Structure 1
Amino acid sequence: DNGMTWSNEQVVWDDAKNTCGNPCPVVDEETGRIWLFMSWNNGKDKESDIINKTSLSSRLPYVCYSDDDGKTWSKPASLEETCRDPSWGWYATGPGIGIQVKKGSYKGRLVIPANHSYDDPQGNLAGGPYGYGAHVIYSDDHGKSWQISESIKPGCNESQVTELSDGTLLMNMRSYNNKQARAISYSTDGGQNWSEIEHDFQLVESLCQAAVLNFGEVDGQGVHLFLNPAVPHGRDHLTLKVSLDDCRSWSNSKLVYEGPAAYSCITRLPNGRVGLFFEAGEKRPYEKMIFVSFDWNEIFLTGTIVP
């Protein structure tokens, strides 16, 4: 009912003390199937151990699906053989959402943003010669098979992908390049190959995940939305930005939550309202989860979304 009420929590995947996380769903609008990508690692391993390849096990991508709108889920299946370079250390899907390409020769392709750590002689990640990179997982046969793109690097991870009006894909990434801004890369072949990274200094960030969404048309105008803690340091002042020109400029911003806030997700609800789901709190950004929806026009009014 457009986020007014919610069912009880249910467990999609539980593997005792091992880590099952970084969920990243996408809906195949041609079949109705929801694909849910996740990452797994031995619960005794820390991220630094996995990056340095001294961990008990590798960090691996998995996928499961639901054909009944999320009520039940298939058993997660490993994608290690086809969607992980064996030289990588860390691996993470999302977090956030994937997309299905709507235009051009790659129409129908499912695209899942992901990231990894890689060998980098010039790098200094987790005290070793490693760096962070981003990539996508994609399928052209409705999930029967999956493959990975080339890496986007240096210094990029936790990514979200969106489709521009001409079918170009834009990857928006957390950046470790000391720019206090989001890293950007483009693909004109459905996500297989990516341009050199650049930074969008309109999108200030402080090393945190962010959300971006092609919201579709409003009054005949294509709209993209971007949400993150819009500060150069710390995690607070969660702010929604609007682009009306394929993410080239961000012409309006709206403070969503002034206090501590971190990871987030955006959706367009069936009734056309904007839906936001994010971490927030009074003293720390991880005290609670907040879902809020509002009419599109509220973006241009004064005041915060969440008082």
Structure 2
Amino acid sequence: MSADYLSLWACGLVLLAAWWGRRLAAVGGACGGSVGLRRRWLGCVAVLAAWPGYLAVAGDEAERSDLFTSGMGGYHTYRIPALLGTPRGTLLAFCEGRKTSRNDDGDIDLLLRRSTDGGRTWEAPQVVYEEGDDAPVTIGNPCAVVDGQTQTIWLAFCRNNTDVLFSKSTDDGRTWSAPVDVTASVKRSESGWYATGPGIGIQLKRGPHAGRLVIPCDHSEEREGRRVMYSHAIFSDDGGRTWRAGESVSPHTDECQLVELGDGTLLINMRNYWGRDGGRPERGGRRAVARSHDGGATWSDVSFDATLVEPICQASLISVERPDGSRLLCFANPASSTTRHRLTLRVSFDEGATWPVERLIDAGAAAYSALAWLGEGQVAILYERDDYRYLTYLVVAIEQP
């Protein structure tokens, strides 16, 4: 039986369980309910719980929360989500607030909403940083990482996609320091356009570089009279006080996210321009990946994941270590090779070699996304939907095999 048929079968069970739940609520309210009916319903739920690698929306579909809506708070459009879970259990939802248009440059501020109850409620938006009042200064591409030793949150972002800045919070994201410009230490002279993330960075836990803070980035270089994009990483070995850049990964790669694997290897997953700009159409339409064995300083040759199709767009990726020491990877992007729609969450149980589990999050227009692990088998996703009108938050439950 194909995976599509199995998914349909599982979805049918979900609907059946929901219908029985409503029936039982009605019967229970009228006459105390039926033990037999309850047992049948619980049996259906048990089948779902035992389904290997099953993904389900946690709670009612109506519990999707639009954290940022176009026109809210004086901003024309909200884009470029980043979602970070802190060691204290707080969720930080960052984004760009674009004041006058949907364009990637202009008067753009860096915004944040906090949740201290797992995403059930959210504090009002706050401006983390802006420049020039109404002047067309672009502040964006948020990418945050937590130093687990000090619980300091480091937030990387860019000014006008040229300068690289860091701000930090020592109170779980309530307040933020004045930014420090680290451009001179991380940007090469041949680099032009520059972006951090967007998304999250990681702190390494294994090997000789344990404790290192790593931020995924990308930049442009002029090659034979045209702009070529490259992914790379910047990192700090002194708790965020200083930063330096590693080598570029591959030409025709761009926005990226990275994770640490069980043996300390770094896996970087990148937006892919090989088909459009690199003259290699057979390499297009799927995510580019590479590995580093020295903490992000250098990278292997690029390869391409045939399962992770993409329309040239940002994607999100996190690694989750389970109590038994094994790990899973969660990945989300628009699962189409042509247009930004069909946002899909995928799960790998073998460190990205295969992606046997998938869940369609949104069948409509959807683009950038951010993921955070909530614990107890739940992953949170913040994503752009409905032609960039909303940044929407949703929790998905993962039944792990």
Same fold (TM over 0.5): yes
- Structure 2 counterpart of 1:23: 142
Determine helix, strand or coil for the equivalent of 1:81: helix
> Which residue number corresponds to residue 45 of structure 1?
none
Q: Match for 1:158 among 255, 269, 274?
A: 255
Q: How does 1:33-112 map to 2 (within 5 A)?
A: 33-41=152-160, 59-112=162-215
| Structure 2 equivalent of residue 125 of structure 1 | none
Q: CA deviation at 1:270?
A: 4.8
Q: CA deviation at 1:272?
A: 4.7
Aligned to 2:128: 12
Match of 2:238 in 1: 141
Q: Offset at 1:216?
A: 1.9
Letter in 2 for 1:279: E
Partner SS for 2:250: coil
- The question of whether the paired residues in 2 share the 8 Å contact of 1:23 and 1:96 is answered with yes
CA contact (8 A) 1:2 1:271 kept: no
1:6 partner SS: coil
Structure 1 distance, partners of 2:119, 2:344, is: 20
What residue in structure 1 maps to residue 393 of structure 2? Answer: 291
Give how far 1:129 is off: 2.0
Structure 1 equivalent of residue 52 of structure 2: none
Matched residues in 2 for 1:67 and 1:84: separation? 26
- TM-superposed deviation, 1:7: 0.3
Given that 1:62 and 1:79 are in contact with CA atoms closer than 8 Å, whether structure 2 keeps it comes out as yes
1:188 aligns with 2:269: no
Supply the distance in 2 between the matched residues of 1:98 and 1:242 (Cα, whole angstroms).
19
Displacement over 4 Å in runs of 4+:
none
CA shift at 1:253, angstroms? 0.9
8 Å CA contact 1:2–1:270 kept in 2: the answer is: no
CA deviation profile, 1:158-189 (whole Å, cap 9, x unmatched): 01011111110011000001110001111000
Paired position in structure 2 for 1:209: 314
Cα 1:188–1:166 shift into 2, 3 Å: same
Instruction: Quote the Cα distance in structure 1 between the aligned partners of 2:168 and 2:296.
Output: 22
Q: Distance in 2 between matches of 1:120 and 1:112?
A: 25
CA contact (8 A) 1:210 1:264 kept: yes
2:272 maps to what in 1? Answer: 175
Distance 1:176 1:272 in 2: 34
Cα separation, 2, equivalents of 1:267 and 1:217: 14
CA displacement at 1:98 relative to structure 2: 0.3
Rounded to whole Å, the distance in 1 between the matches of 2:147 and 2:240 is 9
Paired position in structure 2 for 1:51: none
Shift in CA distance, 80/162, structure 1 to aligned 2, threshold 3 Å: same
CA contact (8 A) 1:160 1:171 kept: yes
Task: Map Cα deviations across residues 123-162 of structure 1 (whole Å, 9 max, x no partner).
Answer: xxxxx42200011110111011110000112100101011
Displacement of 1:294 in angstroms is 2.8
What amino acid does structure 1 have at the position aligned with 2:289? I
Which residue of structure 2 lines up, in the alignment, with residue 247 of structure 1? 352
Percent identical among aligned pairs is 42
Q: Please list the CA deviations of residues 79-129 of structure 1 after superposition, one character each: whole Å capped at 9, or x if unmatched.
A: 1110100211100000010000111111111000000001212xxxxxx42
Establish whether residue 226 from structure 1 lines up as the match of residue 346 from structure 2. Answer: no
Tell me what 1:262 maps to.
367
Shift of 1:271: 5.0
CA offset at residue 221 of structure 1?
3.6
SS of the residue aligned with 1:269?
A: strand
Given the alignment of the two structures, is residue 132 of structure 1 paired with residue 211 of structure 2, yes or no? no
- Give the superposition deviation at 1:218: 6.4
Give the distance between the partners of 2:228 and 2:214, measured in 1 at CA: 23
Unpaired runs of 5+ residues, structure 2, are 1-116, 276-283
| Contact 1:215–1:267 under 8 Å retained in 2 | no
| Residue aligned with 1:153, SS | coil
Distance in 2 of aligned mates of 1:272 and 1:204: 25
Deviation of the 1:204 alpha carbon: 0.1
From the two aligned structures, give the one with the greater helix fraction.
2
Instruction: Give the unaligned 5+ runs of structure 1.
Output: 42-57, 122-127, 301-307
- Structure with the greater alpha carbon radius of gyration: 2
Matched residue SS, 1:82: helix
How many residue pairs align between the two structures? 274
Partners of 1:263 and 1:278 in 2: how far apart? 6
TM-score by length of 1: 0.86
SS at match of 2:200: coil
Measured after TM superposition, the shift of residue 231 of structure 1 is 0.2
- Aligned residue for 2:191, secondary structure, equals coil
CA distance in 1 between partners of 2:122 and 2:324 (Å):
30
